[in-house]
Every structure is written in C-alpha cells, then in structure tokens.
Amino acid sequence: MKKNVRFLIVICLLAMLSLLALQAYWIVKYYQVTRFNFEKEVNMAFEDAVKKEFSVRCDTVQQLIENKLMDTTQFIFSSNLDKEGTRIYNILAKGKSKNKMLSSFSFNELPDSIGPGNEQMKRKVAQHFAEQLRSEDLENHVVYYRTHELGAFMIDKANKYQFDTTRLRPILNHYLEARNIEIPYQFLTLKHDSTTNSSHFSQKLTRNFPVISKSFPTYRYTDNQRYVRAMFRNPASYIISNMGLILVSSILLVLLIAACLSFMLKSLFREKKLALIKDDFISNITHEFKTPIATVSVAIEALEEYDVRHDEHKTSRYLDHAKNEIQRLNQLVDKIMNLSLYEGEQTGFHKESIPVDEVMQEIIQIYEVSSDKKPDIHYENKSGVLQFGVDKLKFRHAISNILDNSIKYSKINPAINIDLFKENGHLVFRFQDNGIGIPEKDLSFVFDKFYRVNKGNRHLVKGYGLGLNYVKQILQQHKGWYRIESELGIGTTIMLGWPI
C-alpha cells in the first residue's frame, strides 16, 4: 500500500511538473512570436509614417510651386492646336528680352483653350505642371535645371521643408495608435547608417531600447540627420496585454489540474487514514466482543455440570456473570447503532426543559460511586440558568461521555472541575481535568469517528473511538458547538455550548 501511494505521488508530481514545463514552453514561444509581431508592426508603422511625412512635404512644396506659377508677373499661359488637332498648353517664363518656353504639354482632361481672364483653366494647368514637377523631381529626391530660376525655387523650398522629427512624431503616433501600440519611443538620427543592419548598436542603448526599427534615409544633407530610426522601450506591457487570454487560460488550467490532483491525494490519504482507523476499531471492538462472549461461554459450561446446577449460590453467581456480560454486549451494540442513527439523522429529537443542576448532580453521583478511580468532581453553575431546553436523554449521553473520558484518561486521582457560564446565547459546560492530555497534532481529529490517540503501536486505554464523535453528533442536532484544548501531562479542557 505504501509503495503504491509513493508511486502515485511521484506520478502526480511528475505530471504536474511536466504540465508546468509544457505551459512555460508554450508561453515563452508565444511571447517570442508576439514580440516578433510587435517588431514587425512597429517597422510597418514607422515605414508608413516616414512615407507619409515625405508625402506631406511634397504636398506643401507642390502647392507653393502651383501658387508661384499663377503669378502673372512671372509666367504666361497659352494654348493652341497642333496639326492633329490636339490641344497644346504652354507655360512661358517672362524674361527681360523675350519670353522663354518653360513647358508645353497636352492634357486630355483640359480640352478648353486658355483665354484672357480664364483663371480656372490657368489653375488646372498650373496644378498639372506642379504635379509633373513633383513626380519627376521631388519624389526622386532630385531637382533638375529649370528656366527662370524655378529649379532654384524648388531647391529653396525643399530645403526649407526638409525632413523633421517634430513633423514625423504625430504621424507615427497616428499609425501606432491604429495598431494599439502605446510603448514610449524616441527617434535616432545619424549621418551614417545601414538600412539592413541594426546589430552595431551599443549594449547600453539596446538595454534602454530593446526594439529598434529599420533605418530609413531622410535625404536631409544640410546636417547629420541623414538616416532615422524609431527606438522603443521594453514592449513587455504590450506583449502581455496581447497574451492576456493565453496567460489567464494557462494559469486557470494549471490551478484546476493542481486542485484536482490535490483533491485526489487528499482523498487518498483520507481513505488510507480511515482504513487504518477502521482496522484499529475492528481490532478493539473484536476484543470487546470476545471478552463477554468468552465469559458467558465459561458460565454456561459451568452450569452444564451437574454439581453446579444443584448449588444455588454458584448457579446464581454464574447467571449474574452471564447477565452482566450480555448487558455489556447490548450496550456496545446500542452505542454503535446510535452513532449510525445520528449520522443519518434518523433518531427522534424530544426537546424538553430540564433542571440543569439536578440532572448534572445525578450524572456526577453515578461516576463518583461506580468508578474504581474515585474521581474528585467539582461542579459550579455560574450562569444563573436553572432550566434550559434539550433532549434530556441525549444531553445525559453527551455529559456522560465527557466524564467517562476524563476519568479513563486520567491519573491515579482524577480531579475534574465542571463550571457553567453563558456565552453569546449559549449555555457553556466547561470540563477541566488533570489527565494525561492530548498531543496538539491529534486535537483536530479526536471528534472524528473511530479516531483514537495512540502511543506507538498500541493504545493505552481500550475504547472504540466513538464517544466524542457521539457528543459531536448530539451537539450538531442541538445546533450547538464544541471546543477542546489540551496539554500533554497537564490535562484537557472541553467546552460544550448549548443554545438557550
């Protein structure tokens, strides 16, 4: 049995450790995957933000070019039909000697001619030409030579509205918020950098900013801000928030399995304990049954002899022995049967008002007269209660069991003090004896059925482990309570609270 229990415990512990290891492995893997996804998301957001910031700058410069082209003091708009009848639009720059052709193009969406005062058509032509300059020059990060200082104007505005982290930050915040990312970050601008490598950063920097985005060129050549990165603080809060469901489910699963294993082991140990207690009870009860049976058998054998049957004194004595032992057997059977009835709540409950002092004195007198140890029992009622309602028979049984234990487990001259007092609507009976005491480890079990405090492999006093459990059942029927305190070699104090 012990080997099987040890084996089962080892198996349960191994299963629990394996489950914890497996859960830890999957959580770590999920953490790594979530961190990889975080790095991917911030890189995508940063790339979109850099592109958007550049697009905003291009929009600004394009609008400035369009406004400049609409300056009639510098530019002239005209249109004509070519040999195929296609409308051609011309933009000419005014010069000191003569006008210079700046651009000539056709545009199917503008079929009308440009007449004097047609500002709407001029605006559309200017917009088209500004878009053309944007796609050919600005978006390729180069400005080609343009007549009438238009190229110089574009370079001046491109330098004025060049890359700026102040403009980039709100754009990046927008893209991060769209991805539910709220991790603090900083920008890193460098003169020299690689768009493919991020392993050359110092350990101090990577400790403070574990996640660093890819590098993107800024095309800002006026200072050292030619490349830019976004550096993010530890993303643990983001990762854990995304792992919330799996973390909670893993913890709940582990706790559930641990609770099941714990319940199973507790049940196993309880059953093992009950089996030992049951074996001990059977051993004791068998001995208690055998003794009166043997005595009755001897008495009957003696009565079968002819000489004894004619001796009235011997016959009476043997019959008395047999009668006493049969009564003892009957009491033992009644005690076991009564306990079973109490547990099944099948016994009747006849509450009546009893004179507490009178009943207590009757019980005390019985034990003072019948006990071989001649106990000194002192009784005092401090409660002022003279009558209270209980089931009289069960009350007597409960008090008798406590007194019986106090005497059985006492020294040569047992001294028992019984006092009554009121506490929280209960009449409390306190029994204090000078017996052998109960070890602290056994105190919480002495009211369990069949439980007996042992000394090594033997019990010092014969019994069945039923008395205190019997008291417990009676108090539960009365909705009362019980408490016990004990110290080895000093004695035991038991309190029974009966509702009044």
- Which pLDDT tens digit goes with each residue over 379-391? 999 998 999 999 9
pLDDT tens for 69-126 read 888 888 888 888 777 777 788 888 776 645 565 677 666 666 566 666 677 888 888 8
Q: Is the pLDDT of residue 303 over 80?
A: no
Between residues 43 and 288, which one has the greater pLDDT? 43
Indicate the pLDDT class of residue 499, thresholds 50, 70 and 90: very high
Range of lowest pLDDT (34-38, 141-145, 413-417, 458-462): 458-462
Q: Which residues lie below 8 Å from residue 437, measured CB to CB, with a gap of 6+? A: 486, 487, 488, 489, 490, 491, 492
pLDDT tens for 304-334 read 765 666 677 777 777 777 777 787 677 667 6
For the segment 31-54, the average pLDDT, to the nearest whole number, is: 92
From residue 47, alpha-carbon distances to 129, 162, 173, 228 in Å are: 29, 17, 12, 11
pLDDT tens for 409-450 read 887 788 999 999 999 899 999 999 988 888 888 888 888 877
Indicate the pLDDT class of residue 454, thresholds 50, 70 and 90: low
Of 225-229, 288-292, 338-342, 446-450, the range with the highest mean pLDDT is 225-229
Do residues 121 and 112 make contact, with C-beta atoms less than 8 angstroms apart? yes
Element (H, E) at 494: strand 491-499
Q: Which residues lie below 8 Å from residue 145, measured CB to CB, with a gap of 6+? A: 151
- The Cα–Cα gap between 16 and 398 comes to 46
**What was the pLDDT predicted at 446?**
86
**What was the pLDDT predicted at 458?**
44
Q: Is the pLDDT of residue 338 over 70?
A: no
End-to-end CA gap in the chain? 49
Residue 224: Cβ within 10 Å count: 11
**Of the candidates 333, 329, 335, the residue with the CA atom closest to the CA atom of residue 296:** 329
Range of lowest pLDDT (6-10, 28-32, 378-382, 488-492): 6-10
**What was the pLDDT predicted at 486?**
92
Phi first, then psi, for residue 232 (nearest 5°) are -110, 140
Of 189-193, 263-267, 297-301, the range with the highest mean pLDDT is 189-193
Average pLDDT, the chain: 82
Range of lowest pLDDT (59-73, 160-174, 301-315): 301-315
From residue 282, alpha-carbon distances to 118, 276, 277, 447, 464 in Å are: 119, 10, 9, 18, 9
**What was the pLDDT predicted at 5?**
67
Q: Which domains does the chain have, with CATH numbers?
A: 19-242 (no CATH), 269-341 (1.10.287.130), 348-499 (3.30.565.10)
